[in-house]
Chains A and B, each alone.
Chain A
């Protein structure tokens, strides 16, 4: 009970501090008042501290099973394992919003500590914007979605967590993807502050790069873990369903991927300034849009969302953010435009520009697929699109992006490439032909597979060429070590993506499935893998009963099961059993059993699925290798490299 009051008080205090920080920081930035910029920043730190206190109190309430709090009673119960009770923090609407505010407050504080070098105007505006966003979240948390609401009668036990979510995945996927979502706000604040301050040079990019990378890495990890979790828990044999919830997590990731590449053009050539601002803003707008879509229930999704009161709030916030971004970009177009020399079509920066356009094209495809039910519903009968839409519309774009990944890194910066400098393209080109021939010999006739997989091989060839070059020529130049490390990391991330795409391609093109009913002792063969059903048994555990079927597969025994939770209205839960090898996963789902001892299964053979998880890990490893512990590039050095006053 007391925790509820304390928590509500902490949120309110945080809101007051954040609001104060927002107003003061803007004013101080406008006046370039050093003392007041400092005070505004400290007010933000104070707000962050209050949010952290609120977070701590909620966690305390959860762990001490304080069921006087509605949130605790609705999301946990006494039988939930402690780790999952702790995970209840972000397991519900209100708590996940508080978690979001917490990540924004803490990461934002870190980013503001390092912002002093950007000048008073930018530091003030950035703090003001960040405090304004935090204020919005706190207003929602205080007024409409408080995790500290109290029940009039304290129940003896809570409702508990849905069994589908009682899984280790619950401990890692949601906090990472939510943190990713929250952190896109930080690049947005610094980009907007740079525009407001009329400072479109690369200084903000140098400062923001780390935070954009953090957001991107968190989102990458969250997406891959989400796929991994869905694949291991949901039992439909796949990992990506183009559900609106997945789409809205993908779109800001795509926009930030574009930004991480185009920002290199600005750093190196001083080009694409307005475009970079636009991308960072787009990523944040997509986050706000996604939150609105996910939490308001306006589009049909396999996830049902509590139609909660926060929908209109986020819609209003979305409109404010869109209006702010559009007006700011339009008003500062003159300042942001220009800089640097024109971009040659066949050059490194030309490849980046095309890659960017294509990535935004993919965003458009996903966006349209996500909002189609909404738009068509306004003009008549609601319509929806399935996976085939995304494959047909985004597939060709992704194929061209793969081709650019293979060719782009070999093109020279600056000048239009002439034939001699294109000689390096022979290697990825030859790789494409070899891989194509190999696939044809192997009997592959699927056109999409014949296009995509050779291009993936070419991407790998290009990365390997780059490693060979980097290792040979650049060792004489220790002064560029920092930048070289970034390149090493980046190409490793490219290699990781190649591995990941191979896994997605193979499991997409060559998945096999079979429904079968077997008597004990009977065998079934799917895609050359033979399984023997040996019998099933009923097991009784503390909170559920399980029907476990045993299948012998080589030396291993697969035990797919069907659990029934009596306490939760007899809800069933399928436990998939997966045998993973580098080449393929054998994925067995138990559908049910007959009175005569037979059991029915759906069996999938999913080629190279483990490559997806490995690829994701390599990407993150590459990003860490390239950037971890990198010292912030001095703003001065960046300014010298890309003069702000280069006439456009």
Chain B
């Protein structure tokens, strides 16, 4: 038993180090729009908010600008790429990218909260 606890500890230490170093380098803050406004973070962050009605598409739909808003604050977002299918005003998106000096959030990925098998719209009638 003693003989195997040594390699086990070595593996555990390696795994611990890998987790520590990898998460230190690539963990991003997950913020709401108001949190982004009140505590600007340098570097990549993910910002969740609701898409407003000012969606402007250009370049045949490959470039888009819109305003992302939560209860109190809003931020203009700029993104290039294909849009998630359910992207439209009113849905919640998570934009991954950084806040530029121009006050615009430059998103590199745009994730829409996608309807899963388990989300149901309760029937109201």
Looking at the assembled complex, report how far the CB atom of B25 sits from the nearest CB atom of chain A, in whole angstroms.
Answer: 7
Interface positions of B from 11 to 40, Cβ below 8 Å from A? 11-12, 14-15, 18-19, 21-23, 25-31, 35, 39
B60 lies within 8 A of A591 (CB): yes
B117 lies within 8 A of A384 (CB): no
Q: Chain B interface: which of A15-23, A114-122, A361-369, A460-468?
A: A361-369
Contacts of B7 in A (CB 8 A): 345, 353-354, 357
The verdict on A393 contacting B82 (CB below 8 Å), with A294-B118, A302-B111 known, is no
The answer, yes or no, to whether B94 is at the interface (CB within 8 Å) is yes
Which of B8, B18, B88, B125 gathers the greatest number of chain A CB atoms within 10 Å? Answer: B18
B60 lies within 8 A of A392 (CB): no
Contacts of B117 in A (CB 8 A): 90-92, 96, 165, 174
A342 lies within 8 A of B3 (CB): yes
A574 lies within 8 A of B85 (CB): yes
Contact with B along A166-207 (1 / 0, CB 8 A): 000000001000000000000000000000000000000000
The answer, yes or no, to whether B106 is at the interface (CB within 8 Å) is no
The answer, yes or no, to whether B59 is at the interface (CB within 8 Å) is yes
Contact pick for A385, options B11, B23, B60, B62, CB 8 Å: B23
Contacts of B14 in A (CB 8 A): 361, 396-397
Contact pick for A517, options B62, B92, B111, B118, CB 8 Å: B62
Contact with A along B86-125 (1 / 0, CB 8 A): 1110001010100000000000000111111111111101
The verdict on A382 contacting B30 (CB below 8 Å), with A159-B123, A392-B18 known, is yes
Q: Chain B interface: which of A123-131, A256-264, A445-453, A594-602?
A: A594-602
The verdict on A393 contacting B22 (CB below 8 Å), with A602-B62, A602-B82 known, is yes
Which of A165, A294, A357, A394 gathers the greatest number of chain B CB atoms within 10 Å? Answer: A357
A74 lies within 8 A of B82 (CB): no
B60 lies within 8 A of A75 (CB): no
A159 lies within 8 A of B121 (CB): yes
The answer, yes or no, to whether A37 is at the interface (CB within 8 Å) is no
**Cα-based distance from A592 to B61 in the complex (angstroms):** 5
Looking at the assembled complex, report how far the CB atom of B91 sits from the nearest CB atom of chain A, in whole angstroms.
Answer: 10
Contacts of A390 in B (CB 8 A): 22
Interface positions of B from 59 to 96, Cβ below 8 Å from A? 59-62, 80-83, 85-88, 92, 94, 96
A386 lies within 8 A of B28 (CB): yes
B18 lies within 8 A of A393 (CB): yes
Which of B1, B11, B15, B92 gathers the greatest number of chain A CB atoms within 10 Å? Answer: B15
B23 lies within 8 A of A368 (CB): yes
Interface positions of A from 339 to 384, Cβ below 8 Å from B? 342-343, 345, 353-354, 357-358, 361, 364-365, 368-369, 372-373, 376, 381-384
The answer, yes or no, to whether A93 is at the interface (CB within 8 Å) is yes
Contact with B along A504-525 (1 / 0, CB 8 A): 0000000000010100000000
B28 lies within 8 A of A392 (CB): no
The answer, yes or no, to whether A589 is at the interface (CB within 8 Å) is yes
Contact pick for B119, options A151, A306, A397, CB 8 Å: A306
Looking at the assembled complex, report how far the CB atom of A481 sits from the nearest CB atom of chain B, in whole angstroms.
Answer: 33
- Main SS class of interface, B: mixed
Contacts of B86 in A (CB 8 A): 164, 571-572
Looking at the assembled complex, report how far the CB atom of A100 sits from the nearest CB atom of chain B, in whole angstroms.
Answer: 12
A591 lies within 8 A of B120 (CB): no
B60 lies within 8 A of A600 (CB): yes
Contact pick for A305, options B1, B35, B87, B118, CB 8 Å: B118
Residue of B nearest to A365 (CB): B19
**Cα-based distance from A79 to B121 in the complex (angstroms):** 18
Contacts of A353 in B (CB 8 A): 4, 7
Contacts of B8 in A (CB 8 A): 357
**Cα-based distance from A372 to B23 in the complex (angstroms):** 9
The answer, yes or no, to whether A153 is at the interface (CB within 8 Å) is yes
A397 lies within 8 A of B18 (CB): yes
The answer, yes or no, to whether A303 is at the interface (CB within 8 Å) is yes
The answer, yes or no, to whether B48 is at the interface (CB within 8 Å) is yes
**Cα-based distance from A93 to B117 in the complex (angstroms):** 7
The answer, yes or no, to whether A287 is at the interface (CB within 8 Å) is no
B119 lies within 8 A of A392 (CB): no
Looking at the assembled complex, report how far the CB atom of B60 sits from the nearest CB atom of chain A, in whole angstroms.
Answer: 3
Residue of B nearest to A308 (CB): B118
**Cα-based distance from A606 to B27 in the complex (angstroms):** 27
**Cα-based distance from A74 to B116 in the complex (angstroms):** 13
Contact pick for A92, options B46, B61, B92, B118, CB 8 Å: B118
The answer, yes or no, to whether A278 is at the interface (CB within 8 Å) is no
**Cα-based distance from A128 to B4 in the complex (angstroms):** 35
Looking at the assembled complex, report how far the CB atom of A171 sits from the nearest CB atom of chain B, in whole angstroms.
Answer: 13
B30 lies within 8 A of A392 (CB): no
B116 lies within 8 A of A73 (CB): no
A598 lies within 8 A of B60 (CB): yes
The verdict on A385 contacting B113 (CB below 8 Å), with A357-B7, A571-B85 known, is no
Looking at the assembled complex, report how far the CB atom of A361 sits from the nearest CB atom of chain B, in whole angstroms.
Answer: 4
Residue of B nearest to A272 (CB): B4
Contacts of A376 in B (CB 8 A): 27
Contacts of B18 in A (CB 8 A): 361, 365, 392-394, 396-397
A304 lies within 8 A of B116 (CB): yes
Contact with B along A562-595 (1 / 0, CB 8 A): 0000000011111000000000000001011110
A385 lies within 8 A of B27 (CB): yes
The answer, yes or no, to whether A155 is at the interface (CB within 8 Å) is yes
Interface positions of A from 296 to 347, Cβ below 8 Å from B? 300, 302-306, 308, 337, 342-343, 345
The 8 closest A-B pairs by CB, nearest first: A592-B61, A600-B60, A393-B22, A303-B116, A361-B15, A392-B22, A591-B61, A304-B113
Q: List 9 A-B contacts (CB under 8 A).
A: A151-B123, A159-B120, A302-B94, A358-B11, A383-B29, A384-B28, A393-B15, A397-B14, A397-B15
Measured CB to CB, the residues of B under 8 A from A are 1, 3-4, 7-8, 11-12, 14-15, 18-19, 21-23, 25-31, 35, 39, 46, 48, 57, 59-62, 80-83, 85-88, 92, 94, 96, 111-123, 125
Measured CB to CB, the residues of A under 8 A from B are 70, 73-75, 90-93, 96, 151, 153, 155, 159, 162, 164-165, 174, 235-236, 245, 294-295, 300, 302-306, 308, 337, 342-343, 345, 353-354, 357-358, 361, 364-365, 368-369, 372-373, 376, 381-386, 388-390, 392-394, 396-397, 515, 517, 570-574, 589, 591-594, 598-600, 602
Q: Known contacts A93-B118, A303-B116, A388-B26; can you find 7 more A-B pairs with CB under 8 A?
A: A92-B118, A303-B119, A365-B15, A368-B19, A591-B60, A592-B57, A592-B61
